[in-house]
Structure 1
Amino acid sequence: MARQQEAQTAFTLGGDVAPQDARQARILDAALASFVEFGLRRTTMEDVAQRAGMGRATVYRRFGDKDQLVQAVILRECQQQLALIEARLTGMTSPLDAWLEAFVLAVTGAHRHPLLARLLATEPEHILPYLTVRLPQVVTFSRLYLAMQISKAQKAGALSDRPAEEIAELLLRLVQSLVLSPDGVISPADEASVRRFAETFLRPLLSPP
């Protein structure tokens, strides 16, 4: 029973997200709304400050330039999506099923996200660098974090004993590829196709020996 309980808690976010003060949250909310409405190229730091109801200098003190602000918005949205996924997994008794469901939710949720959908359709040349080469620390953290969670589930006998960090990187690369290149047999707009892919290819990969 103890082993089963350990396995059931194998998929958790682990570690608290750094708290935001109210002013920082207002800036990020304003930036997100402006990016969705006007895009990255047409949004200025002044626009964000005005929308947040504060001075431009205040925004610059929190975020040195627009590049830092965009990265902060993306990071916060990723954190919030992880929290939503974790909430959706509450009550699932099978860690393997939870990992497969998390993959499906990550792919379909990212595809539907209003900021990502808007920018991939209208400004792919501006958003793609932020989702690839400009967020190495986020990618590294995500890989190490997922590997840690995979290792916990492996110790509980709930997942494959393949190298945890390699599994984590594979899952991240799959999510990234499906979201950034959505046209294909496996479509992030079609939850059923993502779920079939997860069941057909990821379940055998992640199943315990």
Structure 2
Amino acid sequence: MTSLRHNAAEEPASPRDGYLDAARDCILDLGWRRTTLTEVARRAGVSRMTIYRTWSDMRQLLADLMTREWTEVVLATEAEDDPSRPPVERLVDKLVRTVLVLRGNELFVRIVELDPELVLPYLFDRRGRSQELILGLVEQALRTAQASGDVRPGDPAAMARGLVLCAHGFVLSAHTMIDDDVTESALEQEMRVVLTRALQP
């Protein structure tokens, strides 16, 4: 699955977006290790110094690229929300759809396949900006649903973090649990059951 905003007909929203688009293309074509700021500048059609004035190294650029990519996934899922559905069903559906879109995202797949160490800091050392966004959205949804009695009592901040930790496993490790005995769709259904029962009063 391609990025939700990137296709051949779409123009970058700003020069910075154009530079990030060029970096994204580089990583998809070459992988992280072979991508340099010089190559990003070449593909973006600008001088090397133009890129260096924005990012001092590739790790800073990658952090901004991943934040933009994952934030788009999350916000697109939010935009598809149907407020007429029950709160728990809505929240579980958004979490599951976010997991599935991330697992199919071509940049995410490329990074995990070639350079999985790039995601390790966000699993072992610190939360990233897109993770903070997800936590904030989930926590607010939980507070609203608790106020209406649709979600069990509890600390919404801790509950949000528990849900996101659960989702991490389905994003990063689901493929290790799919085989002739358990299909991807069966695993997706189990994820829905786990998340739903974690929220029900």
Deviation at 1:192, TM superposition (A): 4.1
SS at match of 2:80: helix
Deviation at 1:141, TM superposition (A): 4.8
Which of 13, 16, 29 is the equivalent residue of 1:24? 16
Per the normalisation by structure 1, the TM-score is 0.78
Which residue number in structure 2 is paired with residue 202 of structure 1?
195
> 2:178–2:184: 8 Å Cα contact kept in structure 1?
no
Equivalent-residue separation in structure 2 for 1:91 and 1:148 (angstroms): 14
Does residue 86 (structure 1) correspond to residue 50 (structure 2)? The answer is no
Per the normalisation by structure 2, the TM-score is 0.81
Letter in 2 for 1:80: E
Alignment of 1:65-104 (within 5 A): 65-90=57-82, 92-104=84-96
Total equivalences in the alignment? 185
- Where does structure 1 differ by over 6 angstroms across 4 or more consecutive aligned residues? none
Deviation at 1:85, TM superposition (A): 0.8
Does residue 129 (structure 1) correspond to residue 123 (structure 2)? The answer is no
**Could you say which structure has the greater relative contact order, defined with CA pairs below 8 angstroms and 6 or more residues apart?**
1
Equivalent-residue separation in structure 1 for 2:133 and 2:55 (angstroms): 21
Letter in 1 for 2:198: L
Equivalent-residue separation in structure 2 for 1:137 and 1:39 (angstroms): 21
Deviation at 1:203, TM superposition (A): 1.4
More moved, 131-140 vs 175-184: 131-140
CA RMSD of aligned residues (A): 2.3
More moved, 72-81 vs 114-123: 114-123
Instruction: Give unmatched runs, 5+ long, in structure 2.
Output: 1-11
Deviations 1:86-139 (A, max 9, x none): 1332355211111111121121111111011112122223x2335435652423
> 2:83–2:90: 8 Å Cα contact kept in structure 1?
no
